[in-house]
Structure 1
Amino acid sequence: MLIAISDVWRTAEADHLTYVVARTDAWMAKNGKGAAAMLRAFILKHRKAIAIGRPTQLRRVVRLVEGRLGVRCAADRQLLQQVIADKDDGADRQYDPARQYWCDFMKECERAFSYRHFTTKHTTKAATKPSTTPATKPSTGWDAHALCRKATCRICPYCQQAYAFTLHVDEEKVFRPTLDHYYAKSIYPYLAVSLYNLVPSCYTCNSALKRDLDFLDDAHLHPFEDREDIQFTVDPVSLMDLKDNRTEELIAIATPGHGSARAKGSCDTFRLTDRYALNGHELAMLVNALQMWTPDAIAKTASGQGCTAKAFEALLFQFDPDNYANEMLGRMKKDVIELFRKESADHAATSGGGGGVGP
Structure 2
Amino acid sequence: MIISVPRNWESSEAEHREYLRTILREYYNQVDDMVGPPSYTYYFLKRVHRLILSRSLTHYRKSISLLENAIKQKNNNEFKDCIFREIKKVVDYESFCDKSQKYNAYTLCSKSKLRTCPYCNHSYSITTYETGRGFRPSLDHFYDKARYPHLGLSLYNLVPSCSSCNSSLKNTKDFFKDDHLHPFFDDEEIQFRIKSGNIINPMDIIRTPITSLKIETLYKSIKAKNSDSVFLINERYQYFIYEAYNFALAKLDFDEQIKNNNLFITREMKEKTSLRFDIDNYKHEMLGKLYKDIYIQFTLKL
What are the residue-to-residue correspondences of 1:63-78 with 2, within 5 Å? 63-70=65-72
1:48 & 1:8 partners in 2: Cα distance?
Answer: 20
Counterpart for residue 9 of structure 2: 9
Counterpart for residue 100 of structure 1: 78
Q: Deviations over 1:246-300 (max 9, x none)?
A: 323332222111xx11010011111111111111221121022123221662794
With over 3 angstroms needed to count, the CA separation of the structure-2 counterparts of 1:242 and 1:213, relative to structure 1, is same
With over 3 angstroms needed to count, the CA separation of the structure-2 counterparts of 1:181 and 1:173, relative to structure 1, is same
Counterpart for residue 209 of structure 1: 169
**Moved runs in structure 1, 4+ residues, more than 6 A?**
32-35, 242-245
The correspondence for 2:87, drawn from 96, 99, 109, is: 109
| Amino acid corresponding to residue 326 of structure 1 in structure 2 | H
Normalised by the length of structure 1, the TM-score is 0.76
With over 3 angstroms needed to count, the CA separation of the structure-2 counterparts of 1:220 and 1:318, relative to structure 1, is same
Counterpart for residue 339 of structure 1: 297
3-state SS of paired residue (1:323):
helix
**Alpha carbons 1:35, 1:104 under 8 Å: kept:** no
- 1:297 is aligned to 2:258: yes
More deviation, 49-58/212-221: 49-58
Q: Deviations over 1:208-243 (max 9, x none)?
A: 100000001112111121111111122145853566
**Alpha carbons 2:109, 2:136 under 8 Å: kept:** yes
With over 3 angstroms needed to count, the CA separation of the structure-2 counterparts of 1:48 and 1:121, relative to structure 1, is farther
Normalised by the length of structure 2, the TM-score is 0.89
**Alpha carbons 1:242, 1:288 under 8 Å: kept:** no
- 1:276 is aligned to 2:240: no
How many residue pairs align between the two structures? 297
1:340 & 1:105 partners in 2: Cα distance?
Answer: 56
| Amino acid corresponding to residue 102 of structure 1 in structure 2 | K
For structure 1, which runs of at least 5 residues remain unmatched after alignment? 72-95, 124-140, 346-353, 355-359
Cα deviation, residue 309, structure 1: 0.9
| Amino acid corresponding to residue 288 of structure 1 in structure 2 | L
1:301 & 1:48 partners in 2: Cα distance?
Answer: 62
The correspondence for 1:149, drawn from 107, 110, 128, is: 110
Cα deviation, residue 29, structure 1: 3.8
With over 3 angstroms needed to count, the CA separation of the structure-2 counterparts of 1:244 and 1:189, relative to structure 1, is same
Counterpart for residue 78 of structure 1: none
Identity rate, percent: 31
With over 3 angstroms needed to count, the CA separation of the structure-2 counterparts of 1:22 and 1:274, relative to structure 1, is same
| Amino acid corresponding to residue 313 of structure 1 in structure 2 | E
**Alpha carbons 2:206, 2:249 under 8 Å: kept:** no
Counterpart for residue 134 of structure 1: none
- 1:222 is aligned to 2:182: yes
For structure 2, which runs of at least 5 residues remain unmatched after alignment? none
Counterpart for residue 21 of structure 1: 21
What are the residue-to-residue correspondences of 1:134-283 with 2, within 5 Å? 141-168=102-129, 170-235=130-195, 236=199, 239-241=202-204, 246-257=209-220, 260-283=221-244
- 1:287 is aligned to 2:248: yes
Cα deviation, residue 12, structure 1: 0.8
With over 3 angstroms needed to count, the CA separation of the structure-2 counterparts of 1:271 and 1:331, relative to structure 1, is same
With over 3 angstroms needed to count, the CA separation of the structure-2 counterparts of 1:116 and 1:291, relative to structure 1, is same
1:155 & 1:36 partners in 2: Cα distance?
Answer: 44
| Amino acid corresponding to residue 273 of structure 1 in structure 2 | N
The correspondence for 1:119, drawn from 86, 93, 97, is: 97
**Alpha carbons 2:100, 2:131 under 8 Å: kept:** no
With over 3 angstroms needed to count, the CA separation of the structure-2 counterparts of 1:195 and 1:237, relative to structure 1, is closer
Counterpart for residue 53 of structure 1: 55
